[in-house]
A and B are shown apart, each in its own frame.
Chain A
Amino acid sequence: GNSVTQMEGPVTLSEEAFLTINCTYTATGYPSLFWYVQYPGEGLQLLLKATKADDKGSNKGFEATYRKETTSFHLEKGSVQVSDSAVYFCALSGAPKTSYDKVIFGPGTSLSVIP
């Protein structure tokens, strides 16, 4: 079955440091890949997505590239800010044209950015 694996947290970085959160997946077909972010006390919100191999999703300075050959979708940011402190979830959804787009979430990686 489909699954998502993320690096274990928590991750603590100083402001302006480089961020990488690793994500690998197992899936049949051609899933879409997502990164969601959850700020303290809130629900998840979509950060970025990629729907096919070699696509790069980007938003708010974050980037991730859909690598089918390594089944990975690592999240990166060149210079983190305190406001980036949150929990980050990697996720995938099934192949297109399915009647039910079940989303598989990774366990989440907590990021704390200190001034």
Chain B
Amino acid sequence: NAGVTQTPKFRVLKTGQSMTLLCAQDMNHEYMYWYRQDPGMGLRLIHYSVGEGTTAKGEVPDGYNVSRLKKQNFLLGLESAAPSQTSVYFCASTQGKEQYFGPGTRLTVT
């Protein structure tokens, strides 16, 4: 039981490049979330999903897209990366009230 996994762990992009972050969970959770963590700002919700095939916007969705084609996977895409998207990205899943977090992806956009 791996819990929540994220790939990659680290990535450096140039401005304008695109990439996809993958989150996978093996707990059969319905709800999945993408957050970004920036110094002094805590965690901010980017997008979330309440089930396979559904997605919704969180607090800071601009510049990101998501897909939930399979229940266990939640993908976060950056179509045209900007330096403001330099951050640590966390995926989480839940079935009840406790959220289970992945180890994070550290993304730097130069």
Q: A43-B103, A99-B50, A100-B50 are in contact. Are A105 and B43 (CB under 8 A)?
A: yes
Residue of A nearest to B102 (CB): A43
Range class of the B interface residue count: 20 to 34
What is the bound-complex CA distance between A49 and B99, given in angstroms? 11
Residue of B40, B45, B90 near A102 (CB, 8 A) is B45
Assess the B48–A100 pair: CB atoms within 8 A: yes
The reply on B74 being an interface residue by CB < 8 A is no
What is the bound-complex CA distance between A94 and B104, given in angstroms? 25
For A46, what are the chain B residues with a Cβ–Cβ distance below 8 Å?
98-100
What is the bound-complex CA distance between A45 and B45, given in angstroms? 17
Taking beta carbons and an 8 Å cutoff, which residues of B are in contact with A?
A: 4, 31, 40-43, 45, 48, 50, 56, 90, 92, 94, 96-104
Taking beta carbons and an 8 Å cutoff, which residues of A are in contact with B?
A: 32, 34, 36, 41-46, 49, 51, 89, 93, 99-103, 105-108
Q: Which 4 residue pairs across A and B have the least CB separation, nearest first?
A: A43-B101, A107-B42, A105-B43, A44-B101
